[in-house]
Amino acid sequence: MSARNHYILDLGMERLRESYRRGDLIPQKLVESIISAADALEHYNIFIKPPSLCWIQPFIDCLKQKDLDTHPLWGIPFSIKDNIDLVGVPTTGGCPDFAYLPKKSAFAVQLLIDAGAIPIGKTNLDQFATGLNGTRSPYGVCHNSFEFDLISGGSSSGSAVAVAMGLSTFSLGTDTAGSGRIPACLNNLIGLKPSLGLISCSGVIDACRSLDCISVFTNSCDDANEVLDVAIRFDSEYSNSRELPYFNATRNYGLADTKLTIGVIKKEQLRFFDNREYFKAYTQTLEVMIDRGFTLKEIDFRPFEEVGDLLYQGPWISERYITTEQIINHNPQSMYPVVREIIEPGGELLATDLFKAQYRLRELKIICERLMSDLDCLMTPTVGCYFTIKEMLDEPIKANTKLGYYSNFVNLLDFASVVVPTRLIQGARDNFLPFSISLVGPCMSDRWLLSIANRVQSIFSLPAGNTDYIRNNRENKLVSNPKSVDILVCGAHLSGLPLNWQLIERGATLKQVIDTAPIYRMYVIAGGPPLRPGLVRDEKKGAAIAAEVWSLPAENFGSFVENIPSPLGIGKVVLSNGLTVSGFICEPMGLEGAIEITSFGGWRAWLQQS
């Protein structure tokens, strides 16, 4: 059963803006088209509060007082998971007896509306955001956008399907165990699970307050970055809110180079649960990435898996119990049975259970961070298999557990993640089903992960959601990992030489042994010990000079530069491959009394012969 005939417009942000500027489209007509399409797709159970002009019209009318050029999301339609508040519209959490009418919108939702975005519906979800599959809702099972009989993924099921089926440019979900990532995979979307506290969860029904975050579904990394840029603001009334560090700011988003080192799970630790299609899709994804220049390094997944087990087998289930305590104690029959079965034991756990689990989590976090310390990111399958709705309903807990194998660990470790589609595989009914990978990095690596995902997205070039539209790829600047600075050294800082400790003690790692472009002259400058070289650019009489490139944590760059004595300094040095990096250079005054050693081709060669 296909929904392709119901698509209305290409809802990519840039294309909508172009249409608005040309006058080809106005928000009123766009929303009316979305309402018509949503009506035709009612049987997919995407919305709890479906789009209707009776409540959307005020948001459209407000755009008359807003300028398209100064409001970055002007006229952009978005959907909201129904555990996130929208003023004047009931919030249910997927439980009718829990519903309430919020007096104001969630902090992040209001930021988006202020930027010109138009809310068009409250979406279906696994009740109380407890589930990864999209079947645990009294409002009906939310069906997959590609195959009606398959699960859509959850708990942010409706939010994902709304974007995949052309009803929203972007949508908000939530993510505690993978709810913003599993549905992205199963519906061919970009799924951004931001760093905890980066987007305020004020106005969101808690699942696990210490682990929850608002997630974003889009059809492109560019659109996800724009939503993130608007939704990030420190919220003094939200206790888990965090400030945005410079290295994670939007100016550090772009297109990552393919010369990256990415961690992948050891082959014997991969689990696809007898799903040959996903195993093949993952293998093909790795082959393409290697062919495009990515370096893949196998790591031990066992500590990450143990962290994931803590989420539902440990005391964090008590956080879900706190949210639903009144319902469980006074109206338990109103809860979806399997949701109550999962949450109810959370009221029996002890404080000692929590402390023991926290001790183990801290130990595992150290191990996991060390395993990732020399990687640009970790890459996993987003899920190892998919299920029909019937299979999920027959074994709701066992099947759901399989879906979370690659996602449960991320929030507990305080990591960020981005899902990016890489394959469309042949389904059983002459259709295609999506497969994606998840990129995982440390807290506040959001822009860097989006930049890597942007590169991956450009390589695999899949359509947007389950539409015939091409993903909106813009011209992006090349970017490198903002948490580190590449430094070229050519003298006493080389490996094993007297000043190399200044790099080692600051956490720097050797990235590359390489020559400069053949446009430099090298001198031994006066002074010491230790003896130091002076590198001077001379495009007429220069030569290639042997050097090393070290990757230095950005927070330690200042203290490193502070120790560099005159006449040396840091400037830009051209490498033999044409790239430019920061590196040691010498002021002209430093050449007084210096000895030229250019003919030796490098500092080590001169030392060996002097």
Q: Residue 300, exposed/middle/buried by CB under 10 A (0-12, 13-18, 19+)?
A: middle
**What is the average pLDDT score of the chain?**
95
pTM of the model: 0.92
Which of 460, 479, 498 is the last residue before a domain boundary? 479
**Looking at 179, 215, 417, 480, which residue is catalytic?**
179
Query: Are residues 462 and 357 both part of a single domain?
Result: yes
Which of 433, 453, 479 is the last residue before a domain boundary? 479
Closest CA to 120 of 160, 86, 157, 156: 86
Quick one: three-class SS letters along 365-427? HHHHHHHCCCCCEEEEECCCCCCEHHHHHHCHHHHHHHHCCCCCHHHHCCCEEEEEEEEEEEC
Query: Are residues 22 and 161 both part of a single domain?
Result: yes
Query: Are residues 525 and 470 both part of a single domain?
Result: no
CATH code at position 531: 3.10.490.10
The answer on pLDDT for 430 being more than 80 is: no
Query: Are residues 56 and 99 both part of a single domain?
Result: yes
Quick one: three-class SS letters along 154-218? CCCHHHHHHHHCCCCCEEEEEECCCCCCHHHHHCCCEEEECCCCCCCCCCECCCCCCCCEEEEEE
Q: For 548-568, what is each residue's pLDDT tens digit?
A: 999 999 999 999 999 899 899
**What average pLDDT score do residues 404-430 get?**
92
The answer on pLDDT for 389 being more than 90 is: yes
Which of 479, 495, 513 is the last residue before a domain boundary? 479
- Catalytic residue list contains 179: yes
Closest CA to 253 of 536, 549, 452: 452
The answer on pLDDT for 169 being more than 90 is: yes
pLDDT band, very low/low/confident/very high, at 429 (cuts 50, 70, 90): low
Query: Are residues 383 and 299 both part of a single domain?
Result: yes
Closest CA to 387 of 517, 216, 273, 268: 273
Query: Are residues 427 and 572 both part of a single domain?
Result: no
Return all residues near 555 (Cβ < 8 A) that are at least 6 apart: none
Sign of the Cα torsion 181, 257, 224, 445 reads positive
pLDDT band, very low/low/confident/very high, at 8 (cuts 50, 70, 90): low
**What average pLDDT score do residues 429-453 get?**
93
Query: Are residues 465 and 572 both part of a single domain?
Result: no
**Looking at 105, 137, 155, 551, which residue is catalytic?**
155
Q: Name the residue range of residue 207's domain.
A: 4-479
- Catalytic residue list contains 155: yes
Query: Are residues 438 and 495 both part of a single domain?
Result: no
CATH code at position 397: 3.90.1300.10
Query: Are residues 215 and 361 both part of a single domain?
Result: yes
3-state secondary structure of 112: helix
pLDDT band, very low/low/confident/very high, at 286 (cuts 50, 70, 90): very high
Report how far residue 347's alpha carbon sits from residue 481's, in angstroms, rounded to the nearest whole number.
43
Query: Are residues 413 and 427 both part of a single domain?
Result: yes
The answer on pLDDT for 104 being more than 90 is: yes
Report how far residue 360's alpha carbon sits from residue 357's, in angstroms, rounded to the nearest whole number.
5
- What is the share, in percent, of the chain residues with pLDDT greater than 90? 89
The tokens 């299609």 sit on which residue?
A: 277
By the 8 A CB rule, do 132 and 179 touch?
A: yes
- Residue 476 has a pLDDT of 87
Q: For 478-490, what is each residue's pLDDT tens digit?
A: 998 888 899 999 9
Report how far residue 226's alpha carbon sits from residue 224's, in angstroms, rounded to the nearest whole number.
5
The total domain count for the chain is 2
Query: Are residues 585 and 475 both part of a single domain?
Result: no
Other C-beta atoms closer than 10 Å to the C-beta of 307 total 23
Query: Are residues 472 and 561 both part of a single domain?
Result: no
Amino acid at 87: V
**What average pLDDT score do residues 212-228 get?**
98
**Looking at 49, 81, 122, 193, which residue is catalytic?**
81
3-state secondary structure of 49: strand
Whether cis (ω within 30° of 0) applies to the bond prior to 529 is yes
Q: Produce one character per residue of 14-43: b if its CB has 16 or more CB atoms within 10 Å, e if not.
A: eebbebbeeeebebeebbbbbbebbeebee
- Residue 2 has a pLDDT of 46
The answer on pLDDT for 45 being more than 60 is: yes
